[in-house]
Structure 1
Amino acid sequence: MSRRHAAVRRSPRAHWLLFLLVLSALAASLVLEGWTTHQVDAARTRIPCSRPIPRQADTGRPVLRFGPHGVRTASMPPGTVALTFDGGPDPTWTPRILGLLHRHHVHATFFVYGRQVARYPALARRIVREGHELGSYTYTGGDLGAASAPRARLELSLTRTALAGAAGVSTRLLRLPHTTAADTLCGPEWTAAGQAAREGYLIVAADATTRRPEQGAVTQYSQTDLGYREARAVLRDHRVARFTTVGAGLGASSVVGPVTGVRHAQGVGLIGAQRLGHFLAAAMAWGLAATGVLGLLRLLMLTLLARVHVRRQHSCRPGAPGPRPVRDPVTVLVPAYNEEAGIASTLGSLLASTHTDLQIIVIDDGSTDSTAAIAEAIGDPRVTVIRQPNAGKPRALNAGLARARHDIVVMVDADTVFEPEALGRLLQPLADPHVGAVSGNTKVGNRQTLLGRWQHLEYVIGFNLDRRMLEILQCMPTVPGAIGAFRRHALLGIGGISDETLAEDTDLTMALWRAGWRVVYAESAVAWTEVPDTLGQLWRQRYRWCYGTLQSMWKHRRAVVESGPAGRFGRRALSYLALFQVVLPLCAPMADVVALYGVVFRTPAEAVAVWLCFVAAQLLSAGYALRLDRERLGALWVLPLQMFVYRQLMYLVVIQSVVTALMGSRLRWHSMERSGTADPYLAGEPPHPRTPAQVPAR
């Protein structure tokens, strides 16, 4: 595939509009769920009364009508009791109360929460279907006297919408939460009652418990066990001539009526959003648990198996015979496309290697800059330059492989700078005839910026620590293109380097495992590479890596059911990649969302404590990885900052890669702009001393 002219069946950028729309809908649903489930303003508690209700309303009657000429009050006729139930609908007690009323052939008024109506719309429909009356108890049960004016209006309008969607009705009946008799509508509650009345509501309080039923009364019960027992006792009271609803007792049949189709559709949308928010909140809890378990499992595996790897490396007794040193001649393949900034440093570091029996082949893949000219100007007979039209990295490597004279082939990116001993150390595992490929230890050279330091930590923790563990498990899925050694006949045995995926190094490594070869890690073979220095370049690089890895996993999926070492590799490697490089990144944003949700809607201290524990675990793992790689622990200070930007970027990369793969799109090759800063010695912070003669020339 050409880097510049790859075919694209569908542009992945078009997915972002859909992604943003879906994300906005999910965020709105989650905010609605958080607000209704965990109230976050002053409306949670009632403000004490500062003044009594007006004298004209203080008649002891429970129903208040606000009009242009003041307030009028009303009550039930003598011998008539209007049963009212506050709260719910509740899946436990509402059906029991409805059954009780049905057995006594009585209708009642249910003042319900809008959020509960949205959560249990079938119960709201049952209340209406069985002839009962619905009233508003606000959406969340917040105190309207303590709420702001916008919050109060929202409480009422959302309840109207929920009732329209669930039961297809609109109600003018309102009972203010935290109130009983009319005289409790004092202070701020009176102001809230007046505002609600101006929106068309009839304010319904309750009669005092001392009022005798034969005088006519509006009773008030909660939808609980206590309310059920109190209502049952009243229904058995023979002093009551008639039980009715509030509207029927007032002779006002129009207090509850049907709604238009538009209002019903709006209500259905609100119910859907509330359900989605409730589902998301539950999913977040499960997602956080899954993320935590997977994350801790990975950290535990990394730490324990890396320790096993270290012990295995030092398990040989002093003086015990070991495998013969590998000093065979080596062919180094350096594919290059517009690499003029770093090609001289790469070739200089290879020529300065302590392993001198080299054939270095630079394959200029149609560069438009002076890459080939710089390589040719090196003037060392060990360096050969091949020019070819731009055809992509896999074809460039195959062109070099065809010209290789030696059985050991080392593949190197054109921005990689080798330590003097790296090449010799990279070859030593090939003393084992079962080893077909060896991965070196790639380090970040341009780590002077914050973005570079973040990638430095990722390389040490996410790549090199991983490779120690994966070598122990015998399932390392990738030999990086920056530094890797191969047996030439092993490469030819699998047909060379395939261009069927965008992650040719992963594809190649998996193919070697399936052909029966082992792949190991040489942590002492250190090479320095240049990483992207802008977020845009980083995004393009990681997007290609991730998408290519998904392609390779799909291409080699049959390894899972194969037998022998190939099947063992497939089951371990593909499971590991699926869990920790696909599922975990897809679930990991849950941790951030839960933390934000907890800060806004729950207990901020609890959310911060969970986040700090997560950071502490990351710091311990990172510190251990830096120690194993003999790196300075001072780099740890950027790790907490990494979690606010870098981690989210990597999550989005995985999300877009998965979406792109599912939709069948294909990606272009993206070339990174090089600045020639891969050499840490030229950058000013060498980790190990190097003599002046060993500094690669530019």
Structure 2
Amino acid sequence: MRSSHKGLALERQLRPFSARRLTFFTGVSLFGVGVVAPILMRTTHRTVEEAAQLDRPISVVITAYREAGIIGDTVARLCEQLKNAAEVDARIIVVASDHETADAAEAAGATTLRVPREGKARALNRGVEAATGKLVVLTDANASLGDGWPARVREGLKHAHLISGVKHETGGAEQAFWQLERLIKSSKVSSASRVESLSVVGELLAFRSEDFAPFERDHLSDDLALAASFDRRGKRVLIDRALVALEPATTGVAQWERRIRIAEGQYREVLPRLRDYVATPAGRTYLVHKMYRLTVGVFGFWLAILSLLVARSPWSMVVVPLLVGGSVAHYTRAPGRGGQLLTTLSTAVSLQVVPIVSLSRLFRSRNRAKEPGWKKVAR
């Protein structure tokens, strides 16, 4: 009888432990799939019939606002690269929403379009319209494109209607994140240097001007919206790992807000059109690469955290929230301090908090008529 009571008591003790352990490992597994699956996912490779339509000049389009301090150097660098590539008829078009930026771009040799500040979508429309009949390359005022990009763009457009480069950030607290991104986009599982996906970067996009469908409204994630527009119209989107755009990292609260905007933009673009993304190879690759992490992956992370919170040890209800809050505080207020390990851990945790904040803002603003703006910092 005593043995029976002991057995029941032991069973009651093991049952919650086993449930917690199962919950923890389920959460970790769901989170881990978001890291491993994009690396292992195989991609297809096709050609584009319009490959012959490449014998035309390149026009680089930059939309800029309050970029007077850096636009001159960017234009001069692009001019030098185009000259070295023997792109004699190329030109750089800066769509500027303030006079200081326009003046600096003109002084460096760019063609400028002075427009009112009506959003990036309209600015892009104006820039591409000015490049009618050309090969259009979109980049940012603070981006540096790797040497040899003109020839690589022309080669890439033999295989795609929209070609994107990959982005590397210099400095900052997210080095581990960008190493993962490089690993995913340069996976040896795929022998092709170009991968079919909608995970494009706005710092380096190229297409034929006639393939562009003008934006009808502003988007929080305009690069994803552009790629999805090509994909929905049956046009091929590829990411070329050999096309590299470098950009100085943003840190602190500014990067935190930027991450929230990016996540909210992806939710807004993808969730209402999920069927469209599932229907195409590029869309499916994007869902595995990006959207899984923002949905199932983050759910798995917080499921694992929840399993720690319900542990019998009273410290877990205090220590775990403190660790999460401390990670966000370190990421936003003291990025890079305390060594690489602390920075990596605080960044990893903070990037799992970002989707929660993004979704909460999305739900609060679901009745908002227009996309939110942000305060632009002059550079």
Do these two structures clear the TM 0.5 threshold for a shared fold by scoring above it?
yes
Alignment correspondent of 1:398: 125
Query: How many Å apart are 1:508 and its aligned residue?
Result: 1.2
Max radius of gyration: which structure? 1
Aligned to 1:443: 168
Q: Quickly say closer, same or farther: Cα 1:641–1:672, change in 2 above 3 A.
A: farther
**Structure 1, residues 442-462: CA drift from partner, whole Å, max 9, x if none?**
2213x1xxxx1x333323323
Tell me how far apart the structure 1 counterparts of residues 113 and 7 of structure 2 sit (CA, whole Å): 89
After TM superposition, give the deviation of residue 496 of structure 1 in Å.
Answer: 1.6
Q: What is the identity, as a one-letter code, of the residue corresponding to 1:410?
A: V
Deviations 1:419-462 (A, max 9, x none): 33123323311123xx11111122213x1xxxx1x333323323
SS at match of 1:431: coil
**Identity among equivalent pairs (%):** 22
Structure 2 equivalent of residue 455 of structure 1:
174
Does 1:291 pair with 2:27? yes
Task: Structure 1: state its 5+ residue gaps.
Answer: 1-220, 229-278, 313-322, 608-634, 676-698
Deviation at 1:572, TM superposition (A): 4.7
Using the TM superposition, give the Cα deviation of residue 577 of structure 1 relative to its aligned residue in structure 2, in angstroms: 3.8
User: Equivalents in 1 of 2:372, 2:242: separation in Å?
Assistant: 34
Structure 1 residue 530: Cα displacement: 2.4
Residue 503 of structure 1 is matched in structure 2 by 221
State the 1:596 CA deviation. 8.0
Partner of residue 65 from structure 2, selected from 333, 337, 357: 337
Q: What TM-score, normalized by structure 2, do the two folds share?
A: 0.75
Q: Is the 8 A contact 2:27 2:300 kept in 1?
A: yes
- Could you tell me which amino acid in structure 2 is paired with residue 461 of structure 1? L
Code of the residue aligned with 2:299 in structure 1: it is L
Indicate how the Cα distance of structure 1 residues 333 and 511 shifts in structure 2: closer, same or farther if over 3 A, else same.
same
1:653 corresponds to: 354
Query: How does 1:322-333 map onto structure 2 within 5 Å?
Result: 328-333=56-61
Contact map agreement 1:343 1:415 (CA 8 A) in 2: yes
Q: 2:363 aligns with which of 657, 662, 667?
A: 662
Q: Conserved in 1, the CA contact under 8 Å of 2:63 and 2:141?
A: yes
> How well do the aligned residues superpose, as a CA RMSD in angstroms?
3.9
Between the aligned partners of 2:347 and 2:367, the Cα distance in structure 1 is 25
Alignment partner of 1:386 is 2:108: no
Q: How far apart, CA to CA, are the structure 1 residues paired with 2:287 and 2:72? A: 38
What is aligned with 1:374? 104
Which residue of 204, 211, 218 corresponds with 1:490?
211
Paired residues of 2:198 and 2:238 also in contact (CA < 8 A): no
Aligned to 2:11: none
- The answer as to whether partners of 2:197 and 2:285 remain within 8 angstroms in 1 is no
Q: Which amino acid in the other structure matches residue 543 of structure 1?
A: I
SS at match of 2:249: coil
Shift of 1:387: 0.7
DSSP-derived class of the 1:644 partner: helix
Aligned to 2:267: 550
TM-score (norm 1): 0.43
Change (3 A) 1:342 1:465: farther
Q: CA deviation at 1:525?
A: 1.8
CA distance in 2, matches of 1:641, 1:360: 42
In the alignment, structure 1 residue 415 sits paired with structure 2 residue 119: no
Q: Deviations over 1:636-695 (max 9, x none)?
A: x965323432222222211011223334265522245355xxxxxxxxxxxxxxxxxxxx
Give the secondary structure class of the aligned counterpart of 2:60: strand
- CA shift for structure 1 position 500: 4.7
CA contact (8 A) 2:39 2:185 kept: no
Selected match of 1:359 from 68, 75, 91: 91
Alpha-carbon deviation of 1:513? 1.2
Q: Compute the displacement of 1:222 (Å).
A: 6.9
Moved more, 498-507 or 663-672: 663-672
Q: Note if contact 2:121-2:219 (Cα within 8 Å) is conserved in structure 1.
A: no
CA distance in 2, matches of 1:638, 1:423: 39
Q: Would the aligned equivalents of 2:168 and 2:245 in 1 still touch at CA under 8 Å? A: yes
Task: Tell me the SS of whatever aligns to 2:345.
Answer: coil
Equivalence for 1:72 = none
Deviations 1:91-111 (A, max 9, x none): xxxxxxxxxxxxxxxxxxxxx
Q: Which residue matches 1:515?
A: 233
- Counterpart CA distance in 2 for 1:474 and 1:420 is 21
1:236 is aligned to none
Q: Structure 2 unaligned segments of length 5 or more: list them.
A: 9-14, 46-50, 321-335
**Matched residue SS, 1:647:** helix
Aligned length: 339
* One-letter amino acid of the structure 1 residue matched with residue 91 of structure 2: Q
Instruction: Report the 3-state secondary structure (helix = DSSP H, G, I; strand = E; otherwise coil) of the residue aligned with 1:673.
Output: coil
Q: Could you say which residue in structure 2 is the equivalent of 1:528?
A: 246
Question: CA offsets, 1:165-195, max 9 Å, x none?
Answer: xxxxxxxxxxxxxxxxxxxxxxxxxxxxxxx
Partner of residue 341 from structure 2, selected from 611, 615, 640: 640
CA 1:512–1:593 in structure 2 vs 1: closer, same or farther (change >3 Å)?
Answer: same
Separation in 2, partners of 1:475, 1:290: 30
Matched to 2:111, the amino acid is T
Structure 1 CA distance, aligned partners of 2:313 and 2:6? 34
Conserved 8 A contact 1:444-1:529: yes
Residues 346, 555 of structure 1: alpha-carbon distance in 2 compared, 3 angstrom cutoff: farther
Deviation at residue 299 of structure 1 after TM alignment:
3.8
